[in-house]
Amino acid sequence: MLCKVCKKVTGFRVKRVLLRGHYNPTVKQKQHPNLQWVRVPVFRNENGMPVGIPGVPMLYKRIKACAKCIKASHKNPDYFIKKLALPK
């Protein structure tokens, strides 16, 4: 599992259990990033707005992005363009 924008991957988490005064590293768990499907417009103008021809459907690229990148893209519309190097 990989975020296509920030390259975040699955990591391991070790849960420590206190057992008779000593910590016992008993449980190792995988921690996955919160990946969601996102539609990113392929072509944009110089202002960063999606460009489309009237009567022709927009061209989108579907990618898997983590929730942190999706939040950042709502605040900054050029976020995916800068990170993915999409053409303007």
- Domain ranges within the chain, ordered by starting residue: 11-84
H or E segment at 76?
Answer: none
Per-residue pLDDT tens over the stretch 26-77: 788 899 999 999 988 776 666 666 666 666 667 788 899 999 999 998 898 7
Give me the helices (H) in 1-88, please. 67-75, 79-84
Residue pair 54/24 in contact by the 8 Å Cβ criterion: no
The pTM score is: 0.68
Banded model confidence at residue 87, pLDDT cuts 50, 70, 90: low
Q: What's the rounded Cα separation, in Å, for the pair 54 and 38?
A: 23
Which amino acid is present at 14? V
Give me the helices (H) in 8-78, please. 67-75
